[in-house]
Structure 1
Amino acid sequence: MPAGGRPTVRSRRLGTALKQYRHAAKLDQPQAAEIIAASQARVSRLESGHVTARVIEVRLLLDAYGVTDPEVRAKLEELAKHSKNRGWWLEHAAHLRPDYVDHIALEDDATYIREWQPVLFPGLTQTLAYAEALATDHPNYLAPERIAQLAKVREARQSKIEEGGTTYSTILWEPVVAQPLVRPEIHREQLAAILEIGKRKNVTVQVLPFSTGALGSVTSAFSTFSFDAEPVVEAVALENLRGTSVLEGSEDLTAYANMYDLLRSSALAPDASAKLIRGVLRSLKDDAS
Structure 2
Amino acid sequence: MAPSTIPAIRLRRFGLELRRLREAAGMSASAAATALGTDRTNISNIEAGRYGISEERVRRLAAIYECNDPQLVDTLAAMTGGGRRGGWWDEYRGKIPHGLLDISEIEHYAVHLRTLQTTYLPGLFQTEDYARAMFDLIVPKLPRLDVELRVAHRLARQSVITGESPVRYTGIIHEAALRMQFGGPAVARDQLRHLLEEGERDNVTLRVIPFANGGFPMAGDSILYAVAADRHFDTVHMDSPAGPLFFDLPTQLENFRARLDLVEQVALTAEASADFIRTVAKET
> TM-score with structure 2 length normalisation?
0.91
What amino acid is aligned across from residue 124 of structure 2 in structure 1? L
Alignment of 1:183-262 (within 5 A): 183-215=184-216, 218-228=219-229, 234-262=234-262
Deviation at 1:4, TM superposition (A): 4.1
Structure 2 distance, partners of 1:77, 1:64, is 15
Q: What is residue 167 of structure 1 aligned with on the other side?
A: 168
Deviates more, 1:139-148 or 1:64-73: 64-73
Root mean square deviation of aligned Cα: 2.1
Question: Does the 8 A contact of 1:160 with 1:166 survive in 2?
Answer: yes
Larger helix percent: 1
Deviation at 1:60, TM superposition (A): 0.1
Deviations along 1:49-76, one digit per CA (max 9) or x if unpaired, are 1232222210101122333544322211
What amino acid is aligned across from residue 88 of structure 2 in structure 1? W
Question: Does the 8 A contact of 1:118 with 1:217 survive in 2?
Answer: no
Question: Does the 8 A contact of 2:121 with 2:177 survive in 1?
Answer: yes
What amino acid is aligned across from residue 226 of structure 1 in structure 2? V
Question: Does the 8 A contact of 2:217 with 2:262 survive in 1?
Answer: no
Q: What is residue 22 of structure 1 aligned with on the other side?
A: 22
Deviates more, 1:191-200 or 1:180-189: 180-189
Query: Counterpart of 2:214 in 1: which secondary structure?
Result: helix
Residues 145 and 41 from structure 1, CA distance in 2 versus in 1: closer, same or farther, beyond 3 angstroms? closer
The question of 1:181 aligning with 2:177 is answered no
Question: Does the 8 A contact of 1:233 with 1:253 survive in 2?
Answer: no
> TM-score with structure 1 length normalisation?
0.90
What amino acid is aligned across from residue 59 of structure 1 in structure 2? R
Structure 1 distance, partners of 2:267, 2:135, is 29
Residues 156 and 174 from structure 1, CA distance in 2 versus in 1: closer, same or farther, beyond 3 angstroms? same
Q: What is residue 113 of structure 2 aligned with on the other side?
A: 113
Question: Does the 8 A contact of 1:198 with 1:204 survive in 2?
Answer: yes
Deviations along 1:245-281, one digit per CA (max 9) or x if unpaired, are 1122222222222221111121111111111111112
Deviation at 1:43, TM superposition (A): 1.6
Question: Does the 8 A contact of 2:52 with 2:80 survive in 1?
Answer: yes
What amino acid is aligned across from residue 184 of structure 1 in structure 2? P
Query: Counterpart of 2:139 in 1: which secondary structure?
Result: coil
Question: Does the 8 A contact of 1:118 with 1:216 survive in 2?
Answer: no
Deviates more, 1:113-122 or 1:134-143: 134-143
> Once the two structures are aligned, what percentage of the paired residues are identical?
27
Deviations along 1:20-63, one digit per CA (max 9) or x if unpaired, are 22233333323321221112232222222123222221010112
Deviations along 1:108-167, one digit per CA (max 9) or x if unpaired, are 221221111110011111001111122223332223332222222112100121014311
Residues 246 and 2 from structure 1, CA distance in 2 versus in 1: closer, same or farther, beyond 3 angstroms? farther
Deviates more, 1:23-32 or 1:117-126: 23-32
Stretches of structure 2 that go unaligned for 5 or more consecutive residues are none
Q: What is residue 31 of structure 1 aligned with on the other side?
A: 31
Query: Counterpart of 2:138 in 1: which secondary structure?
Result: coil
Structure 2 distance, partners of 1:47, 1:82, is 13
Q: Aligned pairs, how many?
A: 283
Stretches of structure 1 that go unaligned for 5 or more consecutive residues are 285-289
Q: What is residue 272 of structure 1 aligned with on the other side?
A: 272
Residues 3 and 176 from structure 1, CA distance in 2 versus in 1: closer, same or farther, beyond 3 angstroms? farther
Structure 1 distance, partners of 2:154, 2:185, is 22
Residues 219 and 63 from structure 1, CA distance in 2 versus in 1: closer, same or farther, beyond 3 angstroms? farther
